[in-house]
Amino acid sequence: MKVLCVAEKNSIAKAVSNILSGGQLTTKNTNFPYVKNYEFTYSGFNFTGSNASCEVVMTSVAGHLTGVDFDNQQYGWGKCNPSELFDANLSNTKNKDQQKIAENIRKSARNVDYLMIWTDCDREGEYIGWEIYEEAKKLNNRLNDNTLYRAIFSHLERNHILGAARNPQRLDKRAVDAVGTRIELDLRTGVSFTRLLTDTMARKVQASQQQSMPPPNNSNSNKKENVVVSYGPCQFPTLGFVVDRFERIRNFKKEEFWTIQLVVSEQDQGVQSNNITNFQWDRGHLFDRLAVLTFYELCLELAGNKARVVDIKSKQVNKWRPLPLTTVELQKNCSRYLKMNARDSLAAAEKLYQKGFISYPRTETDTFPPSMDLKSLVEKQGQENSSAWFAYAKNLLDTNNNNHNKFKFPRSGSHDDKAHPPIHPIIGLGRDASITVNERRVYEYVVRHFLASCSEDGKGQMTSISLNWNDEIFNANGLVVLERNWLDVYPWMKWENSKTMPRLEMNQEVIISKAEMKNGYTSPPKPMTESELIMLMDANGIGTDATIAEHIEKIKARKYITSDKVGKDSYLNPTILGVALVHGFETIGLEDSFAKPFQRREMEDDLKKICGGTLTRRDVVTDIINKYKGYYNRTNQNKNRLLQVYDQVKRSLS
């Protein structure tokens, strides 16, 4: 029996081949330098009907094997009305590298009995698997749905890979259809609107950018940079979030507010202590100075400097350990804590996965299966004594010490994509591991997050005291941290003791050391951080966990937003063009479809319905394309309004 196995990347093909072959394999070059063929024998496939050894060739692609595009002769830029692209025929394309990889797939598949797909186990991986299958059967008519199998795996640990080889499944054709739908819709809507917007605005935008640029001083000064005003159904809602925050800041008007604060000193209560506690007004703050002044003067007049204790509560509080790690949470927290952008953090995580250090980093799941042996993973982190968390991991499993912090199975979140477990470490990182600085930082974050999720919650004692000052209630809270637990391995989260609370009793009359009427001002929101943007995109269904970083980078590349560093933090701000595009579509009545997340969220919901079998690809494509034809016609009829808004924004921001 002969079996062809195909992975999504050469590094995965090499790692899997080494495991299945026990290191006894032959490596052969292909016509594409970054793809190798690994040949070996293996007897663990159950679909062969026997335990006989199979001749295996394992190879890979390098991402997608094909692209989708319009015929350039008929539908190239300037050769047709952009509106024709909504109904134009599409064809599969291959660049030179893809052609070389496809040729290797065809040659390798020519005489095999079975094809086994080892691409990443997500929607995109299913689609790439289908591309491989379509190519492989061109020279082998024995390959069909009955001889096609799919390995299900989430990391490169040996026993896990052997289990995946022994228990294959089938390609998910519904997931293939869902990805094909997204590719087709993004192409048709993106290209048609990009051409319309570029034809309408590029000349004006280019002239404006040249005016604002410093005079060139090199030999290429006469070269003009072509401006492309691109549209993407994920790019525009992403831009919309940044512009919305920018406008809230720009239009913010500070308001003065007033509040009352009581200061209580234990010394004034006859206690030998320097402890001073501030009690905050239960009403918070009010924007009516006269109203606050009336309350303040009445209290002074009728109660003087005396208040009464009306409530004392003391309760145990927990600082919850983090949920298991998802892709979005990884990108968000690497941006927030490590100051790494989403693209770099995900790229580092991908490399760590390919090298076998962590599990598959593209997952929406925040729940570990109960059967998963997490203690063994913690144990591995307690064996590598060169790491900063070695002692913590070792103590987590030590049943002989008096440490309160013991291993505890992680909390379960509400998401499970049924494909991959949460991101977690697979093996310890040796002192001499060949990884980059970014990969090391991301690995450390993954490990610390995993260990924290397997720990006890932080435990503390919260005390609350309420005072009645002429029927106005004032509160103070104090926290004593009793057990830090997971916080000891997670340095990015703070949970500290607060100021000691005064020793008071119920109904005790308290001497007020100072009663103040204080004022303050509301403050504008801060500019958008990448961490916040990732969170907004995820909450609103813009992009997938794997593509969020791409959409952010795209609107940076198109000069719709900039990333501006202030101190240690970086903030995202829109450019004149970015603001003009959002307001331009608002002006022509398309803000809900373009600059807001509703249209994209609806499409993502439809893709899930395709996966669930309640909608077909034809249903979704027909519905959304009909909507976009209407959007296109409205935009085309209001092109001058887009130019007018650009001029208005330029004047207001210059």
Question: 535-593: per-residue pLDDT in tens?
Answer: 999 988 888 777 899 999 999 999 999 999 887 788 999 999 999 999 999 999 987 87
What does the pLDDT read at residue 569? 82
d(CA 477, CA 311) in angstroms, rounded, equals 12
Under 8 Å between Cβ of 178 and 610: yes
pLDDT < 70 positions in the chain = 211-225
**From residue 271, how far is each of 277, 327, 396, 509, 566 by CA, in Å?**
14, 54, 43, 14, 47
What does the pLDDT read at residue 217? 58
E-state strands within 266-327:
276-281, 306-319
Which tokens sit at 16? 């899997």
**From residue 155, how far is each of 44, 120, 247 by CA, in Å?**
19, 10, 44
Under 8 Å between Cβ of 92 and 44: no
What does the pLDDT read at residue 216? 54
- What 8-state DSSP symbol labels residue 337? H
The continuous run of DSSP H or E covering 442 comes out as helix 437-453
Pick the CATH number of 327-453 from 1.10.460.10, 3.90.226.10, 3.40.50.300, 1.10.290.10: 1.10.290.10
Q: What CATH number labels 177-215+227-250+528-653?
A: 1.10.460.10
What does the pLDDT read at residue 62? 93
For the chain, what is the largest distance between any 2 Cα atoms, rounded to a whole number of angstroms? 98
- What 8-state DSSP symbol labels residue 488? G
- The DSSP result for 231-269, as a single string, is --TTHHHHHHHHHHHHHHHHT----EEEEEEEEEEGGGG
What does the pLDDT read at residue 165? 95
- For this structure, is 38 an active site residue? no
Q: The domain at 2-170 falls in which architecture?
A: 3-Layer(aba) Sandwich (3.40)
Task: Quickly name the fold that domain 256-319+459-521 has.
Answer: Topoisomerase I; domain 3 (2.70.20)
Task: Give the active site residue among 42, 127, 360, 443.
Answer: 360
* The 3-state secondary structure of 564-621, one letter per residue: EEECCEEEEEECHHHHHHHHHHHHCCCCCCCCCCHHHHHHHHHHHHHHHCCCCHHHHH
What does the pLDDT read at residue 105? 97
Cα four-point dihedral sign 610, 615, 621, 625:
negative
Nearest 5°: phi and psi at 456?
Answer: -75, 150
d(CA 419, CA 228) in angstroms, rounded, equals 38
Q: How distant is the alpha carbon of residue 391 from its chain centre?
A: 31
At CA 234, angle to CA 80 and CA 554, rounded to 5? 85
What does the pLDDT read at residue 218? 56
d(CA 624, CA 647) in angstroms, rounded, equals 32
d(CA 503, CA 266) in angstroms, rounded, equals 7
- Cβ within 8 Å of residue 26, ≥6 positions away: 38, 39, 40
What does the pLDDT read at residue 42? 95
What are the extents of the domains in the chain? 2-170, 177-215+227-250+528-653, 256-319+459-521, 327-453
Under 8 Å between Cβ of 5 and 116: yes
- Cβ within 8 Å of residue 28, ≥6 positions away: 36, 37, 38, 39
Nearest C-alpha neighbor of 335 from the set 576, 536, 155:
536
